Amino acid sequence: MAGARPKSRSASEPGEPSDAFIFFGATGDLAYKQIFPALADLIRDEGFDLPIIGVARSGDLDSLKERARRSLAEHGFTDAAATQALTDRLRYVKGSDEDIETFRALRRELGEARHPLHYLAVPPALFGEVVGCLQVSGCAAGARIIVEKPFGRDLASAVALNETIHEVFAEPDVFRIDHYLGKEPVQNLVYFRFANSFLEPLWNRDHVASVQINMPEAMDVADRGAFYDQAGAIRDVVQNHLLQVVSLLAMEPPSGHTPEAIRNEKYKVLDSIRPLVPDDLVRGQYRGYRDTKGVAADSSVETFVALRLHIDSWRWAGVPFYIRTGKCLPVTATEVLVEMKRPPQSLFGEAQQRDADYFRFRLSPDMSISLGALAKKPGEAMAGEPVELLASHESGSERPPYQRLIGDASRGDQSLFAGEDLVEAAWRVVNGVLDDKTPLNVYELGTWGPPEAAGVLDRGDRWHDPVATPRMAASK
């Protein structure tokens, strides 16, 4: 891009709705898999009536409309009226993300729009150039911007990227999208914690023995080898998805329901997590990963990680938080298990060791909350057996994450987006273990990762493997 960047800021009014939606990378996979279906859902369910402008290097308006139709058909979208409305609203600007003339053409296409919402569905390396061109062309005036993860590769790059974006956009106009935060089960964590009074007296180091988050994936990296070999499990899901779940589990009650109140408490959690050191984690790589297209023959990137977090706060001091995630594991699921401390004495003389009481939150593929406890077995003997009280929810009425997040961004609602302080705090947690210097353990496909993963657990703790559910079996 030619020319210097003026250091002005955009000025969309709080609560002012966006009046145009622009997505860069309109012919890419993200647009095909997520953005087109989300826009169609918004049109059908919420009357989303903004002009929709795609920007890409190749093709034309007719081919973009056909791509949108194929995307919706492939994703099972059957509302003909909404499909027609989406294609009718589509416009197209052909050009490079680094060419200022592309952005001047975009400004002309925007016409009378004064509060556009720009979605950067492009590689993060292009964010700086796109933001600068938006500024010079006038497309940033009064605008908001959505940027995809990964937001940086480490702490230094995230700080630099924030500085670049803030040369043009004020923080309230920046929406760092993480689709995981838009999922209904993840939001249910916050609701369950703070809508029920019985939980709060127990939710602390006096009663909780450990917290465990498992996010196994049965699939391999498939055709994402080139991307994944630049990321790995820590960058791909730990720094963003799973640390966000930790912040929701460990946060203090917010002062109100405003986005700022909730995000402030999440930040305090991330800021109080002790930065990881090599002894806190075990990395693994599934056998055959290096044979994947796009992966280096000598790759040291992890496809599995197990780690232990320490939260240095009054509520959680001394309580280990365990995270385990990886590819080619036995099932695909996301599950939180909060294990409670055992009673100080065994009143009934039962010598056999048993699992402690627990709360289990299943976040995917189905959503459920359960309480594990011990109940008396039928009969005269005072002997117990484990039972689980289960509440499940499968209404199917939840808005898909991208529909929710794009709709919220168009209204200026930051509730489900990560602020710059949260992003940088999360990178501080993992920054010290991103150098691939910790040992890499090979594990077999379909196992629960390398046996060495048990080394991050405190004595007496064990990994709780999520089990397959009927919904998992039906989805295969």
36-46 vs 401-411: helix crossing angle, rounded to 10: 70
Condensed to tens digits (0 to 9), the pLDDT of residues 163-189 reads 999 999 999 999 998 776 656 677 788
Condensed to tens digits (0 to 9), the pLDDT of residues 422-432 reads 999 999 999 99
Domain finish residue from 138, 159, 177 = 177
Torsion of CA 330, 452, 302, 368, to 10 degrees: 40
> What distance in Å separates the CA atoms of residue 330 and residue 468, rounded to the nearest whole number?
9
Q: Are 276 and 434 in contact (CB under 8 A)?
A: no
Q: Are 101 and 214 found together in one domain? A: no
pLDDT for position 391:
79
Q: Which 8-state DSSP code applies to residue 418?
A: B
Please check whether residue 386 lies inside any domain of the structure.
yes
Q: Are 429 and 188 in contact (CB under 8 A)?
A: no
pLDDT for position 86:
95
Give the residue-averaged pLDDT of 261-290.
94
What confidence tier does 476 reach under pLDDT thresholds 50, 70, 90?
very low
| Residue 173 Cα distances to 15, 210, 222, angstroms | 11, 38, 35
Residue 153 pLDDT > 80: yes
Please check whether residue 410 lies inside any domain of the structure.
no
Residue 10 pLDDT > 70: no
Task: Classify residue 421 as exposed, middle or buried by CB count within 10 Å of its CB (0-12, 13-18, 19+).
Answer: middle
Whether 241 is a known active-site residue: answer yes
Phi, psi of 301, deg, nearest 5:
-80, 140
Question: What single string gives the DSSP state of each residue in 122-182?
Answer: S-GGGHHHHHHHHHHHTTTTT-EEEEESP--SSHHHHHHHHHHHHTTS-GGGEEEE-GGGG
Residue 351 pLDDT > 60: no
Amino acid identity of 282?
V
Q: Which one is predicted more confidently, 463 or 98? A: 463
Domain finish residue from 129, 156, 177 = 177
Q: Are 448 and 312 found together in one domain? A: yes
pLDDT for position 3:
42
Q: Are 90 and 110 found together in one domain? A: yes
Instruction: Tell me what percent of the residues of the chain surpass a pLDDT of 70.
Output: 90
Q: Are 140 and 257 found together in one domain? A: no
Q: Are 152 and 161 in contact (CB under 8 A)?
A: yes
Enclosing domain of residue 434: 181-399+419-475
Please check whether residue 413 lies inside any domain of the structure.
no
What confidence tier does 354 reach under pLDDT thresholds 50, 70, 90?
low
What confidence tier does 152 reach under pLDDT thresholds 50, 70, 90?
confident
> What distance in Å separates the CA atoms of residue 151 and residue 24, rounded to the nearest whole number?
17
Please check whether residue 70 lies inside any domain of the structure.
yes
Q: Are 113 and 260 found together in one domain? A: no
36-46 vs 80-89: helix crossing angle, rounded to 10: 110
> What distance in Å separates the CA atoms of residue 237 and residue 149, rounded to the nearest whole number?
10
Condensed to tens digits (0 to 9), the pLDDT of residues 117-126 reads 999 988 877 8
Residue 311 pLDDT > 60: yes
Residue 347 pLDDT > 70: no
Q: Are 220 and 118 found together in one domain? A: no
pLDDT for position 5:
39
Q: Are 172 and 223 found together in one domain? A: no
Residue 386 pLDDT > 70: yes
Q: Which of 210-219, 387-396, 397-406 has the highest mean pLDDT?
A: 210-219
Please check whether residue 195 lies inside any domain of the structure.
yes
> What distance in Å separates the CA atoms of residue 169 and residue 163, rounded to the nearest whole number?
10
Please check whether residue 110 lies inside any domain of the structure.
yes
Q: Which one is predicted more confidently, 67 or 385? A: 67
Instruction: Tell me what percent of the residues of the chain surpass a pLDDT of 90.
Output: 59
Task: Classify residue 470 as exposed, middle or buried by CB count within 10 Å of its CB (0-12, 13-18, 19+).
Answer: exposed
**Nearest residue to 303 via CA among 211, 358, 224:** 224
Largest CA distance in the chain: 86
Least trusted range by pLDDT, from 92-96, 144-148, 174-178, 265-269:
174-178
* Domains identified in the chain, total number: 2
CATH at 431? 3.30.360.10
Domain finish residue from 118, 149, 177 = 177
Least trusted range by pLDDT, from 135-144, 206-215, 227-236:
227-236
Name the catalytic one among 115, 241, 310, 464. 241
Q: Are 208 and 96 found together in one domain? A: no
Please check whether residue 13 lies inside any domain of the structure.
no
pLDDT for position 470:
52
Torsion of CA 224, 229, 234, 239, to 10 degrees: -70
**Nearest residue to 363 via CA among 199, 211, 181, 177:** 181
What confidence tier does 474 reach under pLDDT thresholds 50, 70, 90?
very low
Q: Are 254 and 264 in contact (CB under 8 A)?
A: yes
Least trusted range by pLDDT, from 7-11, 105-109, 460-464:
7-11
Please check whether residue 38 lies inside any domain of the structure.
yes
Q: Are 441 and 426 found together in one domain? A: yes
pLDDT for position 473:
45
Least trusted range by pLDDT, from 199-203, 281-285, 384-388:
384-388
Residue 9 pLDDT > 70: no
Q: Are 254 and 357 found together in one domain? A: yes
> What distance in Å separates the CA atoms of residue 183 and residue 187, rounded to the nearest whole number?
7
Q: Which one is predicted more confidently, 259 or 251? A: 251
Q: Are 152 and 271 found together in one domain? A: no
